[in-house]
Amino acid sequence: MGKRILLVGATGLVGQGVLRVLLGSDQVEAVSVLVRHPLASPDPRVQVLLAPEFSAVALAAIDLRDHDACLYCAGPMPLGLSEAAYREATVATLERVLAAYAGANPGGFVGYISGMGADAGSALMPLRVKGEAEQVLARSGLAHTSVRPGVVRPVHGTVSPHRLRRGLYALGDPLLALLAGACPRVFTTTEAIGRCLLRLVIAPGPRPAVVENADIAA
């Protein structure tokens, strides 16, 4: 039987690409998408788990059992957010989801979309908070990998849920395509991230603690 996967953040730029890759694989039996807003999918393998808030109470009310892996692709951009607000949305929310997932699947695996340069000791707020999120993952007791993409190019119809960013991606796509091929240490695609996470899910042995941007395609 194929893998049963919990996907968090399926409506975001990276999450859309990951969902596309998962549904294109015959090694995936089912995907449960944990979302705050209703999501329609024509694929019968997709189950929508609706939680208007990712609070401990709301998550405890959802049956998360029998998932081989949790792929966590959620999280806001730091623009316009205070450090406290960004930490709540990035670290605290991840911690609550991990607690709920671990309670239902103590032998499960977590693939977390972090960011290039993530470091809890960084002087830069977004990198510091992402590093703190990775520390939460390390303390979870679950098998895990932090995937650290750099600049992500949306491909195969994946679009940003934010109108302004969607327009910027469309205008800059030719340049992003060029840079993705010339600078693999910095640039990647939604497709490559999805394939990387799928490979981690189906890996038979120990997974790396961290996958850097340069290694995502490999």
Contact between 30 and 5 under an 8 Å Cβ cutoff? The reply is yes
DSSP, collapsed to helix, strand or coil, labels residue 53 as coil
Q: What is the pLDDT of residue 151?
A: 87
Q: What is the pLDDT of residue 99?
A: 97
Looking at the chain, list the stretches that DSSP marks H as alpha helix, in order from N- to C-terminal side: 13-23, 56-60, 83-87, 93-104, 125-138, 163-182, 190-202, 213-216
Q: How confident is the model at residue 41 (pLDDT cuts 50, 70, 90)?
A: confident
Q: What is the pLDDT of residue 146?
A: 98
Q: Average of pLDDT values for 163-167? A: 59
Between CA 186 and CA 69 the distance in angstroms is: 27
Name the strand (E) or helix (H) holding 123: none
Q: How confident is the model at residue 205 (pLDDT cuts 50, 70, 90)?
A: confident
Per-residue CA distances from 164 to 89, 115, 161, 168, 170 (Å): 21, 21, 9, 6, 10
Between CA 21 and CA 101 the distance in angstroms is: 22
Q: What is the pLDDT of residue 200?
A: 97
Mean pLDDT, the chain, integer: 90
Between CA 31 and CA 5 the distance in angstroms is: 5
Contact between 154 and 13 under an 8 Å Cβ cutoff? The reply is yes
pLDDT digits (tens, 9 = 90+) for 110-139: 999 999 999 999 999 999 999 999 999 999
Between CA 74 and CA 76 the distance in angstroms is: 7
* DSSP structure class, residue 90: I
pLDDT digits (tens, 9 = 90+) for 137-148: 999 999 999 999
Q: Distance between alpha carbon 120 and the CA centroid of its chain, in Å?
A: 19
* Residues of the chain above pLDDT 70, percent: 92
pLDDT digits (tens, 9 = 90+) for 4-21: 999 999 999 999 999 999
pLDDT at 169 over 60: no
Q: How confident is the model at residue 216 (pLDDT cuts 50, 70, 90)?
A: very high
pLDDT at 214 over 80: yes
Per-residue CA distances from 148 to 61, 187, 197, 216 (Å): 31, 11, 11, 8
Q: Average of pLDDT values for 21-39? A: 94
pLDDT at 174 over 80: no
Hey, what are 28's tokens? 């995936």
* DSSP structure class, residue 66: S
Is the whole model's pTM more than 0.85, yes or no?
A: yes
Q: Which residue has the higher pLDDT, 193 or 170?
A: 193
